Amino acid sequence: PRSYARRQLAAKIMVLLNMGGGPFSGRISSPTSPGGNIKDNSVLKMLEHSIYEGALYQYRNAEDGTGDEEAMLAHLLSFWTPVSSMFEDAWDKPPKESRLTHGVGIQAMGFVMDRLTADVHYTKVNWDKVRSTLRGLEGHVAWTSGKWTFSDGQERNWNSLQNTAGDVRLLSSHLQARVSK
């Protein structure tokens, strides 16, 4: 089925992320890896969007649905490794205690990766500039405590954001606006 084919490449990349030595190593919970605490569905959604509409699209073969898995993995690790170290406290916590490792944060940060690195091969991305831009999010995120303050004046407790389409959109817009300035 078409929907399964669309998920197939994302699922392969997710397994590679979970088995590799990067920040997702052993963290993604799936039927074959139940010990993780980051939900596989959240990672799959992030990967699917990026593969079909974002930064990872450039590595995909539209003809047969395959992709340059090594390049995708390198691109993802080049982005998520600084995210995990920059927001280390939030990254090290399970989703109940951190909105970064929660589905809403995984997907929203995936949109940030797409915004900052789309159409540029990972070997040509200025990763120092990406890290500097990500530092601009500090003070505007409430991954583990406090309140989120959105541009429309809305305030939400750190843990009130849920893995719903509306909250993913809200957080994605908030973060992308911060990295665009």
DSSP 112-150: HHHHHHTTS-TTTS-HHHHHHHHHTTTTS--SSSSEEE-
Q: pTM of the entire structure?
A: 0.95
What integer pLDDT is reported at residue 31 of this predicted model? 86
What integer pLDDT is reported at residue 64 of this predicted model? 82
Residue 47: enclosing H or E segment and its boundaries? helix 40-53
* Average pLDDT along the chain: 94
Give just the sign of the alpha carbon dihedral 77, 78, 83, 88: positive
pLDDT in tens, 105-114: 999 999 999 9
Q: Residue 3 — pLDDT band, cuts 50, 70, 90?
A: low
Rounded CA separation 89/93 (Å) = 7
Domain extent listing, the chain: 2-180
Rounded CA separation 102/87 (Å) = 14
2-6, 46-50, 64-68 — which is least confidently predicted?
2-6
